[in-house]
Structure 1
Amino acid sequence: MSFLNKHVIRLITFFSVLLCFLWLFGLGWTINKYYAAKPTKLGPVQKASQKEDGKKTMNIVALGDSLTKGMGDDTGKGYVGDILDQIKKRTHKQVSLLNLGINGQTSDQLRIQVQQPEVLRQMENADMILITIGGNDLFRGGEGLVDYKSENISAIENKYLDNLRNIFTQIRKGNATANVFFVGIYNPFINLRTGKETSKVVRQWNYDTAEVCADFPKIVFVPTFDLFELKVNDYLYSDKFHPNSKGYHLIAERVAALLTW
């Protein structure tokens, strides 16, 4: 009987370890595919819609990564599409949206993208610019989960902040009046064993980002960390990384609260 008990315990231990490795593998695959995947090339940019019936058109340009694309939202709108709907309902303006978000995009790549002639032209004509960037810089396909204590984080953040200053400078060169809303990052791993440590890194990252935003006129940092802090799993997609439709709606409401109607 004792032998059988030991045998059963060994089997349970073996399968527990196996399931743990499978979960870690699945998490890494998900992050690599959806959040840190190789960005797709920027396709032809559609021209913003022209004025119709004499009404002023409000032009919105969205830049950034998979959060700008709306990855994880079953409705396909993401926070950008949600904001668009709210603006249409609450104003009499026609609204033109150009979403230039690219899955997996980093601040290095966005810095290059905003220098493209057609992107520059679209930003010059924008009344509002929405940006999400930095999550891929920080988490790096899941690598940020294990080296959050590394001194490399400081170097990575400094490079990101330098890119951010360059991006904002490029935007303001061609457009001094558009309201720019920069959406901060949240911690999707807050419920993991290292959640407190990674949250500390994310909060510092957001603080430093907000400081850079404050150096430029009419660039507003929009915090999202607190929206996901207490019930993160309620607002995440099945990949446990991107927001679901509820999560995106929370972000959209936060941005919409800052708009002047």
Structure 2
Amino acid sequence: MNKNSIRTITVVAILFCLICIFGLGVTFKEYYADKPDIIPKLSRVDKKVETKKELTIVALGDSLTRGTGDETGKGYVGDVVDEIKKKTNKTVRLTNLGINGQTSDQLRQQIQQIEVGRQLQKADVILLTIGGNDLFRGGQGLMDYQTRDIAVIERKYLGNLKFIFQQIRRNNPSANVFFVGLYNPFMDLAQGKEMAKVIRKWNYDSAEASADFPKIVFVPTFDLFELKVNDYLYSDKFHPNTKGYRLIAERVASLLTW
């Protein structure tokens, strides 16, 4: 290869490089043509979630939910509401759907009502008492519990309880549910210790049923009344008095996150 050929190849190579560099420059110019000289800083995203200023509570169940026996008329539900107001700045909206004497059969029917479902959908917290009238039947259960098939009563109750929990979760998957267990109002009577065995098993099975569902918390009350039951009972010796309801409310409130 002579010197002229080498010179020609070198010139062509240099021209090719210049063309490539020019083309690259045009490309970058077009890419950045619409870009600002200074990239603006993104506004800070506030990760703090706005806290609701109102808490909606729906209470379901029997006479304990209604507060029967409380001279103030508030019951444990009213005491829980007072506790929330005291410890937070929230406004509390309460819907109390409790019915005196209600059994799990009757609550099963009530919870299927359209309006009840609508109330449950709006709830942040759901309070529940049920089962006492299934087992005690207004105190009559104390007289014939030895001859009555408690297992049959409990089996039916647990079936209803499961349905009630399913219905609650169908309407509201996220609300915290506090299910208040049974105490023994007959502790100081002759049959009290035998009845205590029945109630403890009933509570255990109720707690196990609760554990099958998310965010449903069983709240024990048996121990609260065990040592001084008469100090915490109303004159009918069945329902709690003001002090008794306060004990239950304090137990429920201790489980709430403020």
Find the partner of 1:152 among 149, 163, 172.
149
Give the whole-Å Cα distance in 2 for the aligned partners of 1:205 and 1:151. 15
Q: 1:83 aligns with which of 64, 80, 85?
A: 80
> Normalising by the residue count of structure 1, what TM-score does the alignment of the two structures yield?
0.78
* Letter in structure 2 aligned against 1:103: N
* Amino acid across the alignment from 1:71: T
1:152 Cα offset (Å): 1.3
Q: Which one of the candidate residues 122, 125, 130 is aligned to 1:125?
A: 122
1-structure distance, mates of 2:54, 2:192: 44
1:237·1:243 contact (CA, 8 Å) conserved in 2? yes
The answer as to whether partners of 1:57 and 1:94 remain within 8 angstroms in 2 is yes
2:217 equivalent among 213, 220, 245: 220
Match for residue 136 of structure 2? Answer: 139
Tell me how far apart the structure 2 counterparts of residues 239 and 143 of structure 1 sit (CA, whole Å): 13
| Greater C-alpha radius of gyration | 2
* 3-state SS, counterpart of residue 137 of structure 2: helix
Residue number among 199, 208, 232 corresponding to 1:202 in the alignment: 199
Deviation at 1:174, TM superposition (A): 1.3
**Cα deviations across residues 76-135 of structure 1 (Å, max 9, x unaligned)?**
000000000010111111110000110000000000001000000000110000000000
Aligned-partner Cα distance in 1 for 2:253–2:57: 13
Aligned equivalents of 2:104, 2:148: Cα separation in 1: 20
Cα deviation for residue 141 of structure 1 reads 2.7
Determine if contact 1:65/1:104 at 8 Å carries over to the other structure. Answer: yes
Identity of aligned residues (%): 73
**Any conservation in 2 of the 1:148–1:201 contact (CA below 8 Å)?**
no
* Partner-residue secondary structure (3-state), 1:61: strand
**How many angstroms apart in 1 are the aligned matches of 2:72 and 2:224?**
20
Gap regions ≥5 residues in structure 1: 1-53
From 83, 106, 111, the equivalent of 2:108 is: 111
The Cα offsets for residues 168-216 of structure 1, whole Å up to 9 and x where unpaired, read as 0000011110000000011101100011100000000000000000000
- Please tell me the root mean square deviation across aligned C-alpha atoms, in Å: 1.1
| 1:62/1:101 contact within 8 Å kept | yes
Pair 1:241-2:238 in alignment: yes
Q: What is the correspondence of 1:39-188 to structure 2 with a 5 Å cutoff?
A: 56-150=53-147, 152-188=149-185
**Superposition deviation, residue 240 in structure 1:** 0.7
Separation of aligned partners in 1, 2:86 and 2:61:
25
Cα deviation 1:51-86 (Å, max 9, x = unaligned): xxx963110000000000000000000000000001
The whole-number CA distance in structure 2 between the counterparts of 1:176 and 1:112 is: 20
Once residues 160 and 118 of structure 2 are traced to their aligned partners in structure 1, the CA distance between those partners, rounded to angstroms, is 20
Aligned residues: 208
8 Å CA contact retained: 1:55, 1:94 = no
| Aligned partner of residue 140 in structure 1, secondary structure | coil
Once superposed, which parts of structure 1, at least 4 consecutive aligned residues long, lie more than 2 Å away?
A: 146-151
- Secondary structure at 2:101 match in 1: coil
**Deviation at residue 151 of structure 1 after TM alignment:** 5.4
SS state at 1:260 partner: coil
Indicate the residue corresponding to 2:247 in structure 1.
Answer: 250
1:110/1:167 contact within 8 Å kept? yes
- 5+ residue gaps, structure 2, are 1-50
Residues 138, 121 of structure 1: alpha-carbon distance in 2 compared, 3 angstrom cutoff: same
1:149 deviates by 2.5
Separation in structure 1 between the aligned mates of residue 87 and residue 179 of structure 2, nearest angstrom: 22
Look up the match of 2:37: none
CA distance in 1, matches of 2:172, 2:249: 23
- Whole-angstrom distance in 2 between the partners of 1:151 and 1:75: 36
